[in-house]
Structure formats: structure tokens, C-alpha cells
Structure 1
Amino acid sequence: MSSWPEDVGILALEIVFPSQYVDQTELEQFDGVSAGKYTIGLGQQKMGFCSDREDINSLCLTVVQKLLERHNIKPSEIGRLEVGTETIIDKSKSVKTVLMQLFEPYGVTDIEGIDTTNACYGGTAALFNSIAWVESSAWNGRFALAVAGDIAVYAKGAARPTGGVGAIAMLVGPNAPLIFDRGIRATYVRHTYDFYKPDLTSEYPVVDGKLSIQCYLNALDQCYQQYCKNVSKKLNSEVDISSFDAVIFHSPYGKLVQKSLARLVLNDYVRTTKEQRTQKFSELIKFNNIKLEDSYFDRDVEKAFLNYSKEIFDKKTSPSLLIASQVGNMYTPSLYGGLVSLLINKKVSELAGKKIAMFSYGSGLAASFFSITVTHNCGPSSPLQKLVSNLSYIKPLLEQRQKIEPQKFESTLELRQKTCHSAPYEPNGSIENFFPGTYYLTKIDEQHRRFYDRIPVLTNGHV
């Protein structure tokens, strides 16, 4: 272990989402808004949500246990486990410590890592920390697990249809099929109140919608520009949108992702000389004097660059939006749900050797732009083939979910709001339609201690 581990990145992925959802078209009708407001205006189709039977602990227990089972990973093979989440149910005890009950029966307690929190960015921080650990002198030859999980719920109103639920576990180590490019990622962090959760008795955030969009797009500008500079300095190479085979974004809602891809094209436009624009962007020449900081809510600019970049979006970004449109905004797992969507929407031969750009954003704010290189090896027994094959359960599982009428969806959120942090409490939600292998809350005692059980797995150990 004296040499730097090679090709450190993601070896395996596991995702979980609720077994129930509300249809966004039906929610439009129920909320009395115009048809298409959620489905076209936001780009959302279905939204997963939890009953009082699931919390952040149960989600993370489920996703970690399923990853270990599906990939035949022994608990002793994990040396670091970090959880990124903003769904806080205890101000002291980390979700990571709850997950240790999966390892303690095997005598495994020497696992580094705790929880990381900053809105939707925590999962990326956990992943970066996991990669850094493998590449460091602290690495002991074992795998790292980066877990991202959240329950995204909003008070009744315009933001509610942008909710969602999910958890993702990422197995990190050397010789990975998804290799993280070293030394060129860019990060942008500053203080702002665009979205935050100051009320510790509520799951609902305080949101300044317009400011949040501006902060997101500004962070994208800053990160992309710095990434381009880093690549130029380290690799003596120039970057533009054509440098990437796929571009994936944190997805609060699908329409913002489409605008974000157009935003990168706008950045490329601004970075070119006027002479280059005449050759490369002839139909956009009327925006010669545009400044990025003046364009966040310029409808003419937005429309022009959306139209110009539509083909690029359809090719490089749209395949990453399957889970976001079907499950909703999962907060910390959102970006990685996009990665999973891309992997299950492409043939392995189409993925091999490709460059994937990733933009992670968490309000408050912290953001990063980084890239992944997919290994060229896509043979039948290759790590890439194995990684993708092990994600084949996702599309069937999305189809197996139960549709819940909007009235019951709303009453479920009202129950969660009413019982948030209650103790003692015995949940009454049905577990009848839970997926095999799902952990669920059985009770909270008078000392706020939480207890869980698990739906039996299928005979082969996983779904």
C-alpha cells in the first residue's frame, strides 16, 4: 500500500425508494392548478413518499444491507462508512451509528466515518471523503461506503410537488469502473439563506424560491469556470460542453436541469471571443454583450439557449432524469440517482470509455463540479458489466410501486407533520406493499429510542 491506489471510484451502486407514489397529473387536479404545471412546468411525473413507517434510519439500513447482499460484500470488507443527509432526527446521534447494527453481529466495529450535513451536498461530501480515504495513508485496503439518503417534504403549496424520497449506497475502492478524475474538480462555497431548516420540530424547510434558483445557477457558473481553469492548468487542455459524453446535475426538478445544461452552453458562449462566436454560435450573436450575472432571469436568453442546446440535452442529460421524474427530488441522493439513471438507460458498450460531468449543489451553499471517466473494459465479466447488470432490478421495481390517491398522500404528510419527533409513538402505516428487504420503524419508546424490523427478503437474498 506504499503506492497511490489506481483508478479509485465507484465499484457498485444500490438505490432504494418508497413502494408508493403519487401521480403528479392527479396532484395537479387535486391542488386545483393548471394542467401541466407539475408535469411540464417542473418536469415531474411521479413522486415517492413515506408513511410513518419509514425514516432516514430505515432508508439507510435498507440500502446498505441490500448493497452488501447483492454484491456479496462481507461486513469485514468495509473500512469506512459515511452518511450524507439533511434529514436530521437526532441532534447528536449519527445515522452511521445506527447502521453499525448491521456490522456488530460480525464483530466489525473498526469502521471510520460519521454523518455529513449541508442540504443536498452531504452525499457528495461523503463520497469525496470516501475517495480521499482510499487515496490516503489511512487506507487499510478495505472498501469505503458512501451513503446518501433523505426524505424531501414541503409544506402544502407551490414547493410540495418538488419533494421525493430515496437513498443510495456507493461502494468505493481502487480499480473501479467509474473512475473519479483527480486534481481537477472545482468547488464553490458561500453563505446564503436560499433554503434552510431552522425549525427543529418540523421536517419542512424555509425556502426563498427565486434566490434558490439564482444561487444554484450562480454556483454552476462558478464551478464550471473553475473546473475549466483546473483542466487547462493541470492537463493543458481546453473544456467545453463537447468534452463530455454525459452531463448530470443535482435535480430539484427536471426543468431546472434542462436550464442548467443550457447554462453551461451560455458559459461556453461567454468564454469565446466575438470572432469565435460568429463561427460557432451564429444564431446567438445578438447576445454578444450578455453578462452571466445579469442573465439569471432573462427570459430571452433562457429561451434562446434552451432551444440551441435541446439536442445536446436530449443526448447528454435527458437519460439521467428517469429516477428524478419518477421518484422526485431525493436531496443528497439526487445527483447519484441521475448517475444510476444514465447507467440503466445505456448499453454497457455505449458507456465504456465515456466522460461524465457531475454538478452537485446544496443550499446554504456548497457546490462542486467534477468528472468521472468510465473504464474502457466492458467485457462480459468486467467490473463495468457487473455494476450495470446489478442495477437491472430498478426499472421493474419502479413499475411495481403502488399509486396512492392525492388525498391519502396529503393526509400521510399531515400525519408525519403532526407526529414529527413524537415519543413514545407507535406508527400505524401499512407495511403490506413494502418491497422485500425493506427496514421499517416498529416503535419509538418514551426515551426517543427507535426500533426497526425488516420485511423478509426473497430466497436469493435480494430483490
Structure 2
Amino acid sequence: MTSVGIDAIAIHAGKLKLDLAETFAPAMGDEPEKYTKGLGLHASSFPDTYEDIVTMGANAAHKLMERKGLEPEDIGRIDVATESAFDHSKPVSTYIAGCLEQVFEGDFHHANKGERKFACVAGTQSIDDAYNWIQAGRNRGRSALVIATDTALYARDDPGESTQGAGAVAMLISEDPSLVELSTEQGYGSADETDFLKPQQQFPSVDGKRSVQVYLARMREALVDYQSVAGEVHPYDIRLVPFHTPFPGMVRKAAVLGYRHMIRNTEIEDALAEEIGPQPREEAFDDDDEYLDAVREYTDALQETDRYREWYDRVVDPTLTISRHVGNWYTGSVHVARASGLMELADAGEDATGATMLVGSYGSGAQAEIHAETVQPGWKDEIEALDIDEQLESRYDLTFEEYETVHDAHNHDEERSFQEFTVPDGEFVFDGWGRMGERKYDYVE
């Protein structure tokens, strides 16, 4: 079977920064630790007034194509994953293709274009679509461009306000990839849930506590399903576990549950039994509540063991570095986590070629997907080409009053015009409205 995977990535972060500890917490009357320790977040990225999901996605794609020396004729499909779309008919991919045609010779008239929607898991689903397209032999030697782009904004004073973020990840899906090869095996956990939705409204309705529960339940189902086709997963055979990361605190909950599941009936469980006892077995309890209480007690104890902490620090924590400083990017979140983990390995001088990553994607509503990825020989060159550190360092640091202004600027209910905070340079920008109410874009040199 053909080797197919992610050949290259590029990231574009919103150009504004909201410091949660220094700016947001005092204004909300909160202690900084509520965000930095509780949620695991230090800052959020925001789009400037001339930025939106199209400009961020197009800027990421432009960067990727230029670096790889690609032309439109090399791209056979463009799939955009977003839950921030502004049109129920015309896909965001057409706007992005139109932007790119301003700066490249040729056009994308023979590229298939679409838009994927399933909350935050849609980016991974778009990669799956591209993988299947190539494996079916329909690509004619061309690659697919997958773009996950979102503005994850909440209504003011909503509990999710502190987890906001904005940015885009562009990924090139190709044969014989340089970055990671995708596994043929996948596992799913899916159910009809109402934990997060946008019923004809701009800002989401969220049941935060319920969403955490659904996230964890679907991830567990997906892991069980993945193991049914790929075999048992041993935690020490995995180098990185990038999760969908609405905030790092959520990943802390998911990671220990995954670890608990993977060590069941292994030598690790036996070794830990001397310290915290064996995992509770359902058949040993007559009452479901007693069993669940025992499981929670075991999980809390497991999380405090040196063995688990060492595994978490090595395998999960590196994937959270970027997220801590950009917030939630919805469809781009898990793909930021992958990049973050590999960047940490590259910075440490580790040769990760051949290493396995177990990727856990999730979308509210709700569905989780787990698959494996194998790091390829060209991974380090691809990762070292990323400029995300420079982007984050150069962001404009908002005051709270400026944050309120930029939040209004991206509120569709506000009709006022807003001054930009930064000066666009060598990028696509929103440039007003067309005759049918469509959004228009221009490339600023």
C-alpha cells in the first residue's frame, strides 16, 4: 500500500495577544492561577480587525506552498475544516483558492474544493478524506491541501471566554511524506450529544462540564475501537500523544484515563499495584456507584505516581507548549499539538525518525478519532522551517479595553468600523464587501 501522510505544515496565528494572567485575570477579578494552573493557559491569540478564517488559512497555505516550491497545478484538492464559516453554501476553500491565485501563476480550476464540518474533529476528517483520495489513485500524482482555520470566540462573560483563540494550520497530504505517515487503522467513538453547538448564531452555546465528560467518554471509546483493529497499545511504545486541546487542563484529564486503560493487564499495572493497588474490575462490585468511586480513587492515585508523571512529562506535556500561549483553535487544535510535540523533540536534539505518535482528535456533538502516525526521515527539516515562535513573539499585546474592542470587531452583530492594531505586511487581508454581500480579500505587499 502507498505511504501517505503529512508532507509539510505551516501555521498562522492571529496577530494579537491577550495575556490571561496579567490582563484578563485582573479585569475579571480572578487570581492568575485560575488560568495558568487550572486551565493551563497563559495567553490567547486573536485576529486583528483585517484578519478572519480566510486570511489566516490563506496565509498559512501561501507560506507552505512557497516553502515547498509548489504551484496550483500541484494541488488536486483543497479542503477547509472550520466551525467559524460565514456562508451556508459557498465553502471557505473557494475564498482561499481565490486569495492564492492572486500570488501564484496559474489557478486551482481543476482542484476539488470543499468544506468539512464536525466541530473540532473536522480537520482530522479532512486529512482522512485526502488520504483516501490518494490511496484510491484519484490524485493523478497531485497532493491535497488541508486547512484547519477558526476564530474560537465566545460571548463576553461566557465561561469559555478564557479559552479563546484564533489561527490556522495548513497541511500538505502527499505520497511518500516527509513529516509523518498515517496509519491505515483508525478508532472511533461517536454519539449524538449536545455539549457544544451554534444553532444559527455566532457565539457557541456550551455546557462546559458536560463537554468534558463527553470528550473523555468518546476518547475512551475511540481508543477501545482503535485497539480492536490495531492490537493492544503499550504506553511506552508511543513517543508523543497529541490530543485535541481546548485547554491543557482537559488534556491532563484525558491523558491519565488513556494511560490507565493502556496499562490494564500489563506488567506496569502489576508494578504499580504494590503502590496503589490493582485497577478495580467491574465484576468485583455489586453496585455501579461503588465501582465508579473505586475507579475514580484509583485514577487519582495513579496520577500522583512517579511512573505516570514521568510518562506524562515525556509523552504528553511537549504537545501543549504552543497551546498554552495561543488558546483553542477548534479544528486546528490537535494539529498545533502535533507540531508542538515535534518542535520540542527537535529543540532537544532528539532523532525521532521511526517513532510512533498516537493522535487523539475530538469534535463536540460528538466524535473522537484515534490513529497512529510514524515520524518520517525528513521530519526535522519540516519542523525547523516553522516560524510560529517568531509569530508569537511579535504579537501585539492587548490592553483589556483593546480586547473588548477587538472582540466587538469580530462580533457579526456589531456594524461599526474598527481601526486595526497592526500593519499588514506580505499577507492577505479582509478588504470589505462585494455586491452580493460576499467578503473580499486582497494581498498586501
Q: TM-score, normalised by structure 1?
A: 0.87
Structure 1 runs of 4+ with >4 Å offset: 290-299
* 1:437 is aligned to 2:426: yes
RMSD across aligned C-alpha pairs, in angstroms?
Answer: 2.4
* Map of 2:344 onto structure 1: 345
Point out where structure 1 has 5 or more consecutive residues left out of the alignment. Answer: 233-237, 378-382, 457-463
* Map of 2:96 onto structure 1: 99
Q: Distance in 2 between matches of 1:282 and 1:320?
A: 31
Q: Deviations over 1:48-95 (max 9, x none)?
A: 112332221112121111211122111111111111111120011100
How far 1:351 sits from its partner (Å)?
A: 1.7
Point out where structure 2 has 5 or more consecutive residues left out of the alignment. Answer: none
* Map of 1:312 onto structure 2: 311
* Map of 2:24 onto structure 1: 27
Q: Distance in 1 between matches of 2:293 and 2:35?
A: 21
Question: How many percent of aligned residue pairs carry the same amino acid?
Answer: 27
Q: Deviations over 1:321-343 (max 9, x none)?
A: 12111111000000000111112
* Map of 1:411 onto structure 2: 405
Distance 1:449 1:296, change over 3 A: farther
Q: Distance in 2 between matches of 1:34 and 1:349?
A: 37
How far 1:303 sits from its partner (Å)?
A: 2.9
Distance 1:432 1:211, change over 3 A: closer
Q: Deviations over 1:398-455 (max 9, x none)?
A: 11111111221123213422546x6xx8x43316344x33322121246312112233
Distance 1:433 1:325, change over 3 A: farther
Q: Distance in 2 between matches of 1:408 and 1:455?
A: 24
* 1:268 is aligned to 2:262: yes
How is 1:111-126 mapped onto 2 (pairs within 5 angstroms)? 111-126=111-126
Paired residue type of 2:169 = I
* Map of 2:271 onto structure 1: 279
The counterpart of 2:300, out of the listed 294, 298, 303, is: 303
* Map of 2:43 onto structure 1: 46
CA contact (8 A) 1:251 1:334 kept: yes
How is 1:104-143 mapped onto 2 (pairs within 5 angstroms)? 106-143=106-143
How far 1:177 sits from its partner (Å)?
A: 2.7
Q: Deviations over 1:156-213 (max 9, x none)?
A: 2321011111101101111113343433211122111010101x2x321011111101
Distance 1:51 1:140, change over 3 A: same
Q: Distance in 2 between matches of 1:412 and 1:230?
A: 47
How far 1:277 sits from its partner (Å)?
A: 3.5
How is 1:305-454 mapped onto 2 (pairs within 5 angstroms)? 305-308=302-305, 309-347=308-346, 349-375=350-376, 377=377, 383-391=378-386, 393-417=387-411, 419=413, 427-430=417-420, 432-434=422-424, 436-445=425-434, 447-454=436-443
Q: Deviations over 1:349-384 (max 9, x none)?
A: 432111111000000012100110012x3xxxxx33
Distance 1:415 1:177, change over 3 A: closer
How far 1:135 sits from its partner (Å)?
A: 0.8
The residue matched to 1:345 in structure 2 has which SS?
helix
How far 1:317 sits from its partner (Å)?
A: 1.1
* 1:228 is aligned to 2:227: yes
Q: Distance in 2 between matches of 1:13 and 1:418?
A: 30
Paired residue type of 2:379 = L
* Map of 1:195 onto structure 2: 196
Paired residue type of 2:6 = I
Q: Distance in 2 between matches of 1:221 and 1:99?
A: 36
CA contact (8 A) 1:95 1:115 kept: yes
The residue matched to 2:429 in structure 1 has which SS?
strand
The residue matched to 1:119 in structure 2 has which SS?
coil
* Map of 1:288 onto structure 2: 280
Q: Distance in 2 between matches of 1:43 and 1:123?
A: 23
Paired residue type of 1:123 = G
Paired residue type of 1:19 = K
Q: Distance in 2 between matches of 1:38 and 1:246?
A: 25
CA contact (8 A) 1:217 1:296 kept: no
| Matched pairs, number | 431
CA contact (8 A) 1:81 1:145 kept: yes
Q: Distance in 2 between matches of 1:278 and 1:59?
A: 49
